[in-house]
Amino acid sequence: MCLFHLMRFVGWDGLTAIATVALALIGGFAAAYAKGQLQDFRKESRIKHLIELVDQFERDPLASHRRKLGEQRIGNGKLKVLDLNDPPYELHDILNFFEHMGYLLEGDYIDLHGVSIEFHYWIFHVWADAKPLVSYERAETPVYYKHLERMVERLVEVDKQRFGKFEFPSQEDLTDFYMEEARSRAGIPIPRQKRRKRMSFSPSVDSTERKE
Q: What is the pTM of this model?
A: 0.72
What sign for the dihedral angle of Cα 153, 102, 168, 87?
negative
d(CA 175, CA 43): 37
- Residue by residue, pLDDT tens for the chain (212 residues) are 555 555 555 555 665 666 676 677 776 666 565 555 555 657 788 899 999 999 999 999 999 999 999 999 999 989 999 999 999 999 999 999 999 999 999 999 999 999 999 999 999 999 999 999 999 999 988 889 999 999 999 999 999 998 888 999 999 999 999 999 998 776 566 555 544 444 333 444 343 333 33
Please state, in angstroms and rounded to a whole number, the distance separating the CA atoms of residues 100 and 146.
Answer: 10
Quote the CA–CA distance of 106 and 146 in Å, as a whole number. 11
Q: Given phi > 0 = left and psi -120 to 50 = alpha, else beta, which region is 203?
A: alpha
